[in-house]
C-alpha cells in the first residue's frame, strides 16, 4: 500500500447452502449434474407455480447467524425485479430490509474483529454460458442457460467496512470459509462457486477522513484473486485522486488474466430493483426454541477452537509465534481434539501440539479418526522417555493406519527398546572418537559450535537405527563437553 493512504474494504460473500433440496422447491441441490435436469415448475418460474420455503435452509442460515454471533430475528422476503435470462421469474426472491441475521462479527486469527452487518437468505439464479471467446453476453451469437442452479439456497454475508488491507480481507475470506464449513452450512468451494466474494473498496488519506467513494469488484474466484484485485483497485483509485480526478462509484469486473479491474456498470446505470414484499410467502418468525435447537447442533467455531489451544499453551508457560501457526494448522485440519485429549491425559501441550501439527497433520484424514486414548498413550510413552521421537513417529504411523491400538504392543512388535545408558554412552564415545575435528569445534561452543550437537545426534541415531532417545543423547553430549 502506498504510504499516506489507507484502504477501506467491505466484503459481500454469497454462500450456497448445503441442503439436499432447493430453497423453494423439492428439486435436488446438486452441482455438476446434466444441465436442466434438476428443475420443476417452481424453479423454472412457470406460470402458476408458487414458492415454499425450505426449513433446512432456514436452519442452516440460522446456524451461520449463530456462528457469526448475529442477532437472529423475524424476517421477510422481498422480490428484487430485473430482467435477465437466467432469472427464471425475472425477479429474485431475497431478504431485503428485514434479514434473518444482523449485527454479528467474525474474529480473525490475528486477533482483529470484523463486523457482520447482515447475513440474509436468497435464491440463486440459473447459470448462463455465452458463446464466443469473450464469454460475455455482449457480442455472443447465442447463450445457453442451465436452471439447475436456479433456486439453490444462498446466504449473503455482508461485512462492515472494517478491513484495512488486502491481507486482512484475505484472512477474513479464509476464516469465513472455515466458519461456513464448521457450521455445516456450506462446503465452501470457491472453485465450484459455492462461495463467491464481491469486494467494496475505497481509499482515504487518513483514518480520520470520511470514507472515500467505493467501487464494487465482482468475479473474484479465489482468495488470491481477492487480494490481487483489492491491491489493483486501491492503486487505481489512488492514482486517480492524486492526478486530480475523482473516483466514480461503479461496479467493476476483475479480469484475472489481465490482472486488472474494468468497468461493468456505473451508478447511473444501476438497476431500479423495485423491491416489494413477496406476496407468495409469509413472514419467517423463528421462536427461541427453534433458534436454540439449531445453536445446540452447532460445534465450536475455529476462533474458539484456536483460543482453547492457546489457553492450554499459556497455562503451560507461554506461546511462541511458531506455535500460533501450529495451532492454526491443527484447527484448520480439525485435529485440535487430539491435542486437547492428550493434554487432558497429562501430556505436555507443546509436545501434543508439535506431534499433531507436524506428524498427525501429514495424514489428517486418518488422524481425525484416530482413537485419542491410543494417541495419548503414545505421547505419554515418548514424554516418559520409553520411546525416542523417531520411534514414536513410527508407532504413530501404524496407529493412524489402524485407527488406534496399543502403542506399547506396537513398539514391542517393532523391537523398539530404550537403549541402556551404558550402551548409549559407548555409542556416543565412538562417534566422538571418529570425528575429532568436529568434536573440537563443538567444544569451542558458540553459535557455530553448538550446531554440531545435531551432527553428533544424527550419527548416534544412525548407529542405533533411531532407538536412542534424542534428549538423552543431547544430555550426554553436553556432559562430555563440560
Q: Smaller CB distance to another protein: residue 82 or 211?
A: 82
| Choice from 8, 100, 145, 389 touching another protein (CB under 8 A) | 145
| Spatial CB neighbours of 203, under 8 Å, sequence gap ≥ 6 | 5, 6, 7, 8, 212, 234, 237, 238, 241, 247
Question: H-helix or E-strand containing 242?
Answer: helix 223-242
Task: List phi, psi (to 5°) of 417.
Answer: -135, 150
Q: How many CB atoms lie within 10 A of CB 129?
A: 13
Least distance CB 49 / another protein (angstroms): 7
| Spatial CB neighbours of 370, under 8 Å, sequence gap ≥ 6 | 338, 360, 399, 400, 403, 404
Site string for another protein, 103-142 (x = CB under 8 A): ----------------------------------x-----
Least distance CB 121 / another protein (angstroms): 14
**Three cell numbers written together for 271:** 438497476
β-strand 195-204 against 127-130: which pairing, if any? unpaired
Q: Smaller CB distance to another protein: residue 274 or 451?
A: 274
Least distance CB 215 / another protein (angstroms): 21
Displacement of CA 358 from its chain's centroid (Å): 19
The residue range among 45-53, 210-218, 308-316, 358-366 that interacts with another protein, by the rule CB under 8 A, is 45-53
Under DSSP, the state recorded for 320 is -
Picking from 432, 450, 454, 433, the residue whose alpha carbon sits closest to that of residue 442 is 450
Q: Smaller CB distance to another protein: residue 5 or 275?
A: 275
Q: Does 52 bind another protein (CB under 8 A)?
A: yes
Residue pair 160/113 in contact by the 8 Å Cβ criterion: no
| Choice from 3, 32, 83, 369 touching another protein (CB under 8 A) | 83
| Choice from 2, 33, 46, 299 touching another protein (CB under 8 A) | 46
Least distance CB 98 / another protein (angstroms): 15
Least distance CB 276 / another protein (angstroms): 6
Q: Smaller CB distance to another protein: residue 28 or 115?
A: 28
User: What whole-number distance in Å separates Cα of residue 300 and Cα of residue 288?
Assistant: 20
Least distance CB 144 / another protein (angstroms): 11
Site residues for another protein, 298-337, by CB under 8 A, read none
**Three cell numbers written together for 140:** 455472443
Least distance CB 184 / another protein (angstroms): 26
Site residues for another protein, 270-289, by CB under 8 A, read 272, 274, 276, 279-282
Picking from 482, 475, 481, the residue whose alpha carbon sits closest to that of residue 424 is 475
Given the rule CB under 8 A, which residues bind another protein?
41, 44-53, 79, 81, 83, 85, 88-91, 137, 143, 145, 272, 274, 276, 279-282
Amino acid at each position: 500500500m502506498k504510504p499516506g493512504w489507507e484502504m477501506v474494504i467491505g466484503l459481500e460473500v454469497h454462500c450456497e447452502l448445503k441442503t439436499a433440496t432447493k430453497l423453494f422447491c423439492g428439486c435436488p441441490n446438486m452441482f455438476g449434474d446434466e444441465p436442466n435436469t434438476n428443475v420443476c415448475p417452481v424453479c423454472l418460474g412457470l406460470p402458476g407455480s408458487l414458492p415454499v420455503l425450505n426449513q433446512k435452509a432456514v436452519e442452516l442460515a440460522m446456524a451461520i447467524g449463530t456462528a457469526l454471533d448475529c442477532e437472529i430475528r423475524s424476517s421477510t422476503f422481498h422480490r428484487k425485479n430485473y430482467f435477465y435470462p437466467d432469472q427464471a421469474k425475472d425477479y429474485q426472491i431475497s431478504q431485503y430490509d428485514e434479514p434473518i441475521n444482523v449485527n454479528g462479527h467474525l474474529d480473525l486469527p490475528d486477533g482483529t474483529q470484523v463486523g457482520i452487518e447482515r447475513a440474509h437468505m436468497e435464491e440463486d439464479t440459473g447459470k448462463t454460458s455465452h458463446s464466443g471467446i469473450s464469454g460475455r453476453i455482449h457480442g455472443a451469437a447465442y447463450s445457453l442457460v442451465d436452471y439447475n442452479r436456479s433456486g439453490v439456497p444462498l446466504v449473503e454475508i455482508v461485512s462492515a467496512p472494517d478491513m484495512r488491507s488486502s491481507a486482512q480481507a484475505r484472512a477474513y475470506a479464509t476464516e469465513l470459509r472455515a466458519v461456513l464449513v464448521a457450521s455445516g452450512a456450506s462446503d465452501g468451494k470457491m472453485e465450484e462457486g459455492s462461495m463467491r466474494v464481491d469486494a467494496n473498496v475505497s481509499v482515504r488519506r487518513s483514518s480520520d477522513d470520511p470514507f472515500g467513494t467505493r467501487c464494487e469488484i465482482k468475479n473474484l474466484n479465489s482468495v488470491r484473486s481477492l487480494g490481487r484485485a483489492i491491491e489493483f483497485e486501491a492503486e487505481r483509485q489512488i492514482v486517480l485522486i492524486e492526478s486530480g480526478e475523482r473516483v466514480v462509484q461503479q461496479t467493476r469486473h476483475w479480469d484475472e488474466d489481465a490482472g486488472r479491474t474494468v468497468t461493468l456498470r456505473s451508478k447511473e446505470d444501476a438497476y431500479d430493483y423495485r423491491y416489494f414484499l413477496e406476496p407468495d410467502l409469509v413472514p419467517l418468525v423463528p421462536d427461541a426454541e427453534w433458534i436454540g435447537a439449531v445453536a445446540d447442533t452447532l460445534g465450536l467455531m475455529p476462533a474458539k477452537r484456536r483460543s482453547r489451544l492457546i489457553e492450554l499453551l499459556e497455562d503451560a508457560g507461554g506461546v511462541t509465534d511458531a506455535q500460533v501457526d501450529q495451532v492454526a494448522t491443527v484447527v484448520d485440519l480439525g485435529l485440535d481434539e487430539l491435542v486437547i485429549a492428550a493434554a487432558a491425559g497429562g501430556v505436555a501441550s507443546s509436545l501434543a501440539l508439535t506431534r499433531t501439527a507436524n506428524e498427525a497433520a501429514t495424514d489428517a484424514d486418518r488422524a481425525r479418526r484416530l482413537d485419542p486414548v491410543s494417541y495419548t498413550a503414545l505421547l505419554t510413552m515418548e514424554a516418559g522417555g520409553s520411546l525416542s521421537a523417531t520411534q514414536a513417529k513410527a508407532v504413530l504411523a501404524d496407529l493412524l493406519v489402524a485407527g488406534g491400538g496399543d502403542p506399547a504392543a506396537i513398539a514391542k512388535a517393532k523391537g523398539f527398546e530404550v537403549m541402556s545408558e551404558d550402551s548409549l554412552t559407548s555409542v556416543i564415545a565412538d562417534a566422538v572418537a571418529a570425528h575429532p575435528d568436529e568434536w573440537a569445534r563443538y567444544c569451542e561452543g558458540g553459535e557455530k559450535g553448538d550446531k554440531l550437537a545435531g551432527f553428533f545426534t544424527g550419527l548416534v541415531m544412525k548407529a542405533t537405527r533411531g532407538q536412542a532417545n534424542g534428549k538423552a543423547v543431547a544430555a550426554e553430549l553436553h556432559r562430555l563437553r563440560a
